[in-house]
Amino acid sequence: MNNAERNTQLIKIKAKELGFFDVGFSKAAFLETEAPRLEKWLSNNMHGKMAYMENHFDKRLDPRLLVDGAKTVVSLLFNYYSTQKQNDTTAPKISKYAYGNDYHDVLKAKLHELLIWIRENIGEINGRAFVDSAPILERAWAVKSGLGWIGKNGNLINKGSGSYYFLCELVLDLELIPDNLLATNHCGTCTKCIDACPTQAIVSPTVVDGSKCISYYTIELKDALPMEAKGKLDNWMFGCDVCQDVCPWNRFANQNTEPTFAPSKELLNYTKQDWMEITEDVFKTVFKKSPMRRTKYNGLKRNIDFIIN
């Protein structure tokens, strides 16, 4: 076993010790096939008012522009699936990924721990950690690393365990062994996600019009919610899980074991009335470590009022 093979195995073992479900490796290079897809998606204004998606076009397609001398993209999956549910079935709904602490903080800490371990055990490596916060096409790299395929709902699907995963990356100037194991697409003729989408945001297999997605409406959009969305948000006040909940592959999803992702009792026990009456002070206290901070109090109230009134 040469050094590259040894280092690849060591990093994979350490990543799993830190709680990552799986890890894959790709050679850092220009994503040639993704370039026209991204350009078309942007030109069709499917990013809505997410203007930041227009920035750093070249960097999104080439990680070597993010890290000098980059040789490898390490793609990692972290399970966030929860079998727990909000107790009041009439209460406004929250996406499973937002039940616990903000994943940006949790996973960035784990990635930094992994990067420190690499430097201590392999050498002085130049690298950066990315958790949904930089111009990098996470799903494309996960596919290249053999971690799954892109489903018709646009999510990465792992054949053994579904799609309830956070994707994150390390871009390193370290030569590692690429997996080169492109996963076979196993969606077949199934259209459950397309058929179930309340706002018909999945405009064709693997293509999601982000400007129509419930997650976009309830999180990304800062303006008033459009009246054409009235009655179509399916009682979601933060995010949406519909296209994943109906996916047959998610019957294999398992409860995550990350303590910081455990939902608070307050969140699960809140009734519809509690949400309607929530104050800014309560919001700041209950959700001080939650990704729900992103909407701020006024944004969450906007969403609640829109779906209830």
What is d(CA 170, CA 76) in angstroms, rounded to the nearest whole number? 8
Question: How many C-beta neighbours within 10 Å does residue 165 have?
Answer: 26
285 close to 201: Cβ distance less than 8 angstroms? no
Query: For residues 186 and 192, is the Cβ–Cβ distance under 8 A?
Result: no
| 245 has catalytic annotation | no
- Could you tell me which of 194, 199, 147 has the C-alpha nearest to residue 168? 147
Among candidate residues 58, 102, 132, 274, the one labeled active-site is 132
Please tell me what DSSP assigns to residue 129: E
**Residue 64 and residue 30: Cα distance in Å, rounded?**
8
Buried residues in 287-300 as b, exposed as e (16+ CB within 10 A) = beebbbbebebebb
Selection from 97, 102, 133 nearest residue 288 by Cα: 102
Tokens of 91: 């209460």
Q: Which residues are catalytic?
A: 132
